[in-house]
């Protein structure tokens, strides 16, 4: 997303020429024509390399009269998606992209088809998605393409449902995703790698990642029979830097794996400065734009043409903002449905193409939410677990709302086919109140940690250097106070999400400097990693599993010995709720009103962070595929202060009314203004 902005294409009737030539000339011409015909069909053979210069017949095409060019296109039978005459062309016919972002990694795989069908009902013919490197390579050399990371299955499903795909391959994606999609282990490399640059150490890692990723998606390119019509290079680089060598290197890598026929594109804000820095002119890369929803689009599309080759600039807003992101402590960002639909229609009325950001936002499950900064590095603003985004398809997939209806009305005017009927909202159930018990004090579980995993050093060390990318780290040191000796336990440090946009993206977590007490520097530190189950990885020591095991023993009538049950501090609370075997399992929400701040797990699935005292969410969305008939186990890791009654409620609707609500995001602002969250809470927990 552009964070400097807010919401708001063979042969022809040349046979007539052939009749006027001698038989020798005719023979030569026939051989040439045969060669051209062979070359034009070459992309069909996936096992053969693509031609290095698109197609010679493509150049010949533009020397023909316009009526002959159009007639020529109608005869093309090979699958081909291309740009010519300032239009997109699909199989020889003009094509208007009516797209929307829908990220597979923010939706459970069991719901991919449901959400894609709702996107089709909205009027979309194309889906755009990012690919987060950190989801697929959580540890260096450990590749994951299963479950929620099963990219190939998602792409094949798009094709099955008749949706084209615009693939945003990164390696940087932004996306309000931890570290902009970069795996945090890049921050543990010595010497430091310079992300998003021509640094050889960084490029080596990118080459390794793309060497795995791009061969996986190459068979799914449109010319190879798949749904992928375009592949994005980097993301809004013009808002960050001006390293053309870096961008050109990415293009070379992409072409090496994907061939010459696929359309590569960049996305940048609709200003001259960002386009000058972020586009890749001379490399045959299409420059798309995004801009504030309230802006007049056509002067920006006119500017866009200056950064594309003649005839190669179909107007495309590759991020049309249907809503906006929200940080903790802000009011939920909302935009008017009719205003959004009217702005969309201004683009489409003149055959402009558009991609909604977002069509469906989804959820930042686990620890993958990102963060932004404001005026300086300390003005830290982590994003919510919910990525609802005020999109027409809500976090839970609801479509019975004013924005969906308004956008669908506009889309219906320009769709080449009748829109599918609108599916009903998915059923949601409130399963009632859930009584919890305090089952473990965090520090009681430290005995379960292998001493070999406790790091000792003279100075505190960043989490990444401890190979602890998410979760928590406990820092311990001893010092001699002026009034006598004492052991100091520095407050547990929580990674609330790494910065995903802007100049401070190099965002390590933990204690990053010396610690002073009474004017003296503390030495001799012990650092204890406390990992938790994330979306695609389960640590060897997982406190949630330990706690759930203890809970089941209690449920069986066994007494739980708990030496620290009366001690305050970060603790685990466990409860269960049952779904009758004759009852349909549906989505629900867990209401955490009255609780402080923490993480919730349902059946050992990390559904994300809660923080009702900051708001605005009071609830966490629980998709039905996480639940099961019979007993379901809820574990809460509360960091501050539990609800005095140790009670939560399973309810049937979202709630974004919690917290002080002192800040608000306006659709024409940059979306970065909010209160600083870099403060200790009453129990000493620090967020970074």
What tokens appear for 474 in the block?
A: 């406990």
Give pLDDT, residue 125: 98
Q: Which residues pair with 393 in a beta bridge?
A: 360
Hunting for tokens 């203004």 — which residue is that? 673
Give pLDDT, residue 542: 85
Sign of CA dihedral 155, 232, 125, 293: positive
CA distance 238 to 185: 25
Identify which of 78, 80, 82 has the alpha carbon closest to the alpha carbon of residue 41: 78
Burial 228-241 (b: 16+ CB within 10 A, else e): bbbbbbbbbbbbbb
Residue 147: which region, alpha, beta or left (left: phi > 0; alpha: psi -120 to 50)?
left
- Asked if residue 611 lies in contact with residue 382, where contact means CB atoms within 8 angstroms, the answer is no
- C-alpha dihedral over 234, 239, 241, 247, to 10 degrees? 20
**Span 427-439+541-559+567-671: which CATH code?**
2.60.120.260
User: CATH classification of 105-414 is 3.20.20.80, yes or no?
Assistant: yes
Give pLDDT, residue 487: 62
CA distance 32 to 29: 5
Q: Can the peptide bond before residue 314 be classed as cis, meaning omega within 30 degrees of 0?
A: no
Q: What burial class does residue 422 get, using C-beta atoms within 10 Å of its C-beta: 0-12 exposed, 13-18 middle, 19+ buried?
A: middle
Whether the predicted pLDDT of 577 surpasses 90 = yes
Question: What residue ranges do the domains of the chain occupy?
Answer: 105-414, 427-439+541-559+567-671
* Alpha-helical segments (H) within 140-278: 151-160, 200-217, 244-258, 272-278
**Residues acting as catalytic residues:** 236, 319
- Asked if residue 186 lies in contact with residue 115, where contact means CB atoms within 8 angstroms, the answer is no
- Read off the pLDDT band of 34 (50, 70, 90): very low
Whether the predicted pLDDT of 64 surpasses 60 = no
CA distance 12 to 14: 5
Tens digit of pLDDT for each residue in 309-319? Answer: 999 999 999 99
Give pLDDT, residue 282: 81
Whether the predicted pLDDT of 74 surpasses 90 = no
Strand order in the sheet with 598-602: 605-610, 598-602, 630-638, 571-579, 432-441, 647-651, 588-591, 619-622
- Read off the pLDDT band of 568 (50, 70, 90): low
- Read off the pLDDT band of 489 (50, 70, 90): low
Tens digit of pLDDT for each residue in 394-422? Answer: 999 999 999 999 999 999 999 989 999 99
Tens digit of pLDDT for each residue in 35-44? Answer: 333 333 333 3
- Read off the pLDDT band of 545 (50, 70, 90): confident
* Alpha-helical segments (H) within 223-336: 244-258, 272-278, 297-305
What tokens appear for 478 in the block?
A: 């001893």
- Read off the pLDDT band of 45 (50, 70, 90): very low
Q: Return the SS3 of 272.
A: helix
CA distance 594 to 658: 10
CA distance 611 to 640: 10
Tens digit of pLDDT for each residue in 213-238? Answer: 999 999 999 999 999 999 999 999 99
CA distance 90 to 82: 7
Identify which of 347, 272, 269 has the alpha carbon closest to the alpha carbon of residue 315: 347
DSSP state of 449: S
- Give the best-scoring range by mean pLDDT among 34-48, 483-497, 543-557: 483-497
More confident residue, 489 or 662: 489
Q: Quick one: what percent of the chain has pLDDT higher than 90?
A: 71
Phi, psi of 154, rounded to the nearest 5 degrees? -65, -45
Whether the predicted pLDDT of 583 surpasses 50 = yes
Q: Which of 71-75, 466-470, 618-622 shows the lowest per-residue confidence on average (mean pLDDT)?
A: 71-75
Give pLDDT, residue 537: 81
CA distance 152 to 170: 16
Whether the predicted pLDDT of 303 surpasses 70 = yes
What tokens appear for 42 in the block?
A: 């070459």
Give pLDDT, residue 24: 35
Tens digit of pLDDT for each residue in 590-635? Answer: 999 999 999 999 999 999 999 999 999 999 999 999 999 999 999 9
Give pLDDT, residue 553: 58
All residues at 6 or more sequence positions from 199 whose CB lies less than 8 Å from its CB, including other chains: 193
Whether the predicted pLDDT of 139 surpasses 80 = yes
Give pLDDT, residue 478: 85
CA distance 328 to 173: 22
Whether the predicted pLDDT of 31 surpasses 80 = no
Whether the predicted pLDDT of 68 surpasses 90 = no
Tell me whether domains 105-414 and 427-439+541-559+567-671 share a fold: no
- Read off the pLDDT band of 453 (50, 70, 90): confident
Average pLDDT, the chain: 85
Give pLDDT, residue 2: 56
Whether the predicted pLDDT of 11 surpasses 70 = no
- Read off the pLDDT band of 169 (50, 70, 90): very high
CA distance 532 to 367: 9
Give pLDDT, residue 38: 35
- Asked if residue 209 lies in contact with residue 202, where contact means CB atoms within 8 angstroms, the answer is no
CA distance 525 to 457: 5
Q: What is the pTM of this model?
A: 0.85
What tokens appear for 405 in the block?
A: 């209806």
DSSP for 95-154 reads E--EEEEE-GGGS-GGGHHHHHHHHHHHT-SEEEEE--HHHH-SBTTB---SGGG-HHHH
Whether the predicted pLDDT of 65 surpasses 80 = no
DSSP for 16-84 reads HHHTTS-HHHHHHHHHHHHHHHHHHHGGG-TTSPPPTTS-HHHHHHTTS-HHHHHHHHHT--S--EEEE
- Read off the pLDDT band of 644 (50, 70, 90): very high
Give pLDDT, residue 168: 98
Q: Return the SS3 of 340.
A: helix
Give pLDDT, residue 116: 98
Tens digit of pLDDT for each residue in 501-532? Answer: 999 999 999 999 999 888 889 999 999 998 89
Query: H or E segment at 591?
Result: strand 588-591
Whether the predicted pLDDT of 28 surpasses 70 = no
């Amino acid at each position: 997303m552009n964070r400097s902005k807010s919401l708001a294409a063979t042969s022809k009737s040349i046979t007539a020429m052939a009749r006027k030539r001698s038989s020798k000339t005719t023979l030569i011409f026939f051989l040439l024509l045969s060669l051209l015909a062979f070359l034009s069909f070459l992309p069909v053979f996936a096992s053969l390399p693509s031609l290095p210069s698109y197609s010679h017949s493509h150049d010949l095409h533009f020397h023909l009269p316009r009526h002959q060019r159009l007639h020529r296109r109608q005869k093309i039978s090979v699958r081909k998606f291309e740009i010519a005459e300032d239009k997109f062309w699909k199989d020889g016919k003009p094509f208007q992209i009516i797209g929307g972002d829908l990220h597979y990694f923010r939706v459970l795989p069991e719901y991919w088809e449901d959400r894609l069908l709702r996107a089709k009902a909205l009027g979309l013919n194309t889906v755009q998605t990012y690919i987060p490197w950190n989801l697929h390579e959580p540890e260096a050399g450990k590749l994951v393409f299963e479950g929620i990371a099963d990219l190939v299955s998602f792409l094949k499903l798009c094709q099955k449902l008749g949706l084209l795909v615009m693939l945003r391959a990164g390696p940087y994606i932004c996306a309000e995703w931890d570290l902009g999609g970069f795996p945090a282990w890049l921050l543990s490399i010595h010497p430091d790698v310079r992300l998003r640059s021509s640094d050889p150490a960084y490029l080596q890692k990118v080459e390794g990642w793309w060497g795995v990723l791009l061969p996986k998606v190459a068979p799914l390119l449109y010319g190879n029979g798949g749904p992928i019509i375009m592949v994005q290079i980097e993301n809004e680089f013009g808002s960050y830097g001006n390293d053309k060598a870096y961008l050109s290197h990415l293009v070379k890598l992409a072409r090496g794996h994907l061939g010459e026929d696929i359309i590569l594109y960049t996305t940048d804000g609709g200003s001259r400065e960002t386009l000058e820095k972020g586009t890749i002119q001379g490399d045959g890369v299409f420059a798309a734009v995004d801009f504030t929803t309230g802006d007049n689009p056509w002067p920006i599309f006119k500017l866009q043409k200056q950064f594309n080759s003649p005839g190669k600039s179909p107007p495309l807003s590759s991020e049309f903002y249907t809503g906006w992101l929200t940080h903790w402590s802000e009011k939920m960002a909302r935009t008017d449905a009719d205003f959004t639909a009217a702005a969309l229609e201004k683009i489409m009325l003149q055959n402009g193409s558009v991609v909604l950001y977002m069509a469906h936002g989804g959820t930042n499950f686990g620890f993958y939410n990102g963060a932004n900064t404001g005026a300086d590095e300390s003005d830290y603003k982590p994003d919510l677990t919910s990525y609802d985004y005020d999109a027409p398809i809500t976090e839970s997939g609801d479509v019975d709302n004013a924005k969906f209806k308004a956008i669908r009305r506009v889309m219906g005017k320009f769709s080449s086919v009748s829109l599918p009927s609108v599916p009903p909202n998915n059923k949601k159930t409130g399963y009632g109140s859930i009584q919890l018990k305090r089952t473990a004090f965090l520090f009681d579980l430290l005995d379960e940690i292998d001493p070999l995993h406790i790091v000792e050093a003279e100075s505190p060390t960043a989490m990444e250097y401890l190979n602890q990318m998410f979760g928590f780290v406990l820092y311990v040191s001893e010092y001699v106070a002026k009034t006598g000796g004492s052991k100091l336990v520095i407050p547990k440090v929580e990674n609330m999400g790494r910065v995903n946009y802007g100049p401070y993206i190099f965002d390590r977590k933990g204690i990053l400097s010396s610690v002073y007490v009474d004017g003296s520097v503390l030495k001799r530190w012990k650092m204890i990693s406390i990992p938790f189950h994330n979306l695609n990885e389960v640590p060897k020591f997982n406190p949630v599993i330990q706690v759930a095991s203890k809970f089941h023993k209690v449920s069986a009538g066994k007494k739980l010995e708990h030496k620290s049950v009366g001690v305050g501090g970060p603790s685990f609370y466990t409860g269960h709720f049952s779904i009758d075997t004759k009852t349909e399992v549906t989505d629900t929400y867990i209401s955490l009103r009255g609780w402080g701040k923490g993480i919730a797990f349902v059946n050992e699935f990390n559904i994300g962070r809660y923080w009702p005292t900051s708001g605005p969410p009071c609830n966490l969305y629980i998709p039905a595929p996480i639940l099961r008939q019979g007993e379901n186990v809820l574990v809460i890791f509360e960091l501050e202060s539990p609800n005095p009654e140790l009670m939560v409620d399973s309810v049937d609707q979202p709630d974004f009314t919690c917290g002080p609500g002192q800040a608000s995001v306006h659709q024409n602002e940059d979306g970065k203004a909010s209160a600083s969250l870099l403060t200790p809470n009453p129990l000493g927990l620090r967020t970074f």
